[in-house]
Structure 1
Amino acid sequence: MIRRGRPEDADAIAEIWNAVIRDTTHTFGTVEKTPGELAAQIGAQPWFVADTAGAVLGFVTWAQFRGGTGYVHTVEHSVHVAEAGRGRGIGRALMAQAEVAARAGGIHAMIAGVAGENTGGAAFHAALGFREVGRLPQVGWKFGRWHDLVLMQKLL
């Protein structure tokens, strides 16, 4: 079941997100998220979680793409699914709900920032109708090397 995120989901969300931060280049960030930080964000921006029998197996959230009033209708999202939930359509279900909610909130465009070597993430977004609109070579530094960032966009 896809439902709105709640502050009490912060521990599970942190566990999912921190594994991505620690173990992959899917995000270039290196500072792990704290449940307190995430609980505060859940109250301040849209969050949806995939809840299966009381276990949070994935999440999606978004925020304004860039600062300033000219960007209020464009958002960048983060979607992550726990290892145990992969291959079960959870990511697709989360993104479907995110698109419905974003449209209802007046959002015109969603942006995905995908690490260049995350070919699975790029294929996932392409299957959802996102298209590559830009590639920024060597803008991310992680694990002692440079990484490209691929920008993908879907007009809602």
Structure 2
Amino acid sequence: MSEIKIRNAHINDAERLLEIYSYYVINTAITFEYDVPTLSEFQNRMRRIMEKYPYIVVEKDGIIQGYSYAGAFVGRAAYDWSCETTIYLDRNARKLGLGRKLYEALETELKKMGILNLYACIAYPETEDKYLNRNSAQFHEHLGFVKVGEFHKCGYKFGRWYDMIWMEKIIGEHKAHQPKIRYYPELRNQL
């Protein structure tokens, strides 16, 4: 039986995470990034995210199979209770339930912070092709996200135009006097 473990990411995980991500940059329109970032750039991205938000990994039998993190939604103070979520799984680890476990763990950590609204920005094809299908939108829908917006032909990759959709999930109560969120480093040892 396989051992599944979810834990906080560490900077020394960056090489494996970049290996997972690079597949999507090179072979898919799931990310609109054209070039694989350097290890140093990827580590810097991780550090910036971990200053405020959770960045977690899922391991199967001791090998990282995917990662998920949250980031600022827009970046202005009034949006502090909202965040953008991201997930990437090793291309051979899809359809095993690891994505659900990872996102559920991320959601739990975000609730502890006081986050109320989750947003996912998803590349979306008008017509599915070899670079992009609708699986990501369907995955988010199964987890309770709903589509709240669509931008048409806003991403160009592999000589094709792709749409982008925004999906939203409300995970907390919106109050007239909302308590401030807590930065994740204060909570990190609790995962």
Normalising by the smaller structure, the TM-score range is over 0.9
Q: 2:29 aligns with which of 25, 29, 34?
A: 25
Q: Which residue of 2 aligns with 1:110?
A: 118
Note the 1:2-151 alignment, pairs <5 A.
Answer: 2-45=6-49, 46-117=54-125, 118-151=133-166
> What root-mean-square deviation, in Å, do the aligned CA atoms of Structure 1 and Structure 2 show?
1.2
Q: Given residue 35 of structure 1, which amino acid in structure 2 is its aligned partner?
A: L
Deviations 1:90-113 (CA, angstroms, capped at 9, x unpaired) = 100110011001111111111111
Gaps of 5+ in 2: 126-132, 172-191
Deviations 1:34-75 (CA, angstroms, capped at 9, x unpaired) = 222233333332210011222111000111110211111111
* Structure 1: distance between partners of 2:100 and 2:144: 11
* Structure 2: distance between partners of 1:30 and 1:105: 33
Deviations 1:92-135 (CA, angstroms, capped at 9, x unpaired) = 01100110011111111111111112311111000000000011
* Structure 2: distance between partners of 1:90 and 1:66: 28
Which structure's residues are more often helix, by fraction? Answer: 1
| Contact 1:16 1:82 (C-alpha < 8 Å) held by counterparts | yes
Instruction: State which structure, 1 or 2, has the greater radius of gyration over its C-alpha atoms.
Output: 2
TM-score normalised by L of structure 1 = 0.94
Which structure's residues are more often strand, by fraction? Answer: 1
| Contact 1:6 1:39 (C-alpha < 8 Å) held by counterparts | no
* Structure 1: distance between partners of 2:74 and 2:38: 24
Secondary structure (helix, strand or coil) at the match of 1:85 reads coil
Higher relative contact order (CA 8 A, sep 6+): 2
Gaps of 5+ in 1: none
| Contact 1:64 1:73 (C-alpha < 8 Å) held by counterparts | no
* Structure 1: distance between partners of 2:102 and 2:28: 21
Q: Which residue of 1 aligns with 2:170?
A: 155
Percentage identity across aligned positions?
Answer: 30
Query: Which segments of structure 1 move beyond 4 Å, counting only runs of 4 or more?
Result: none
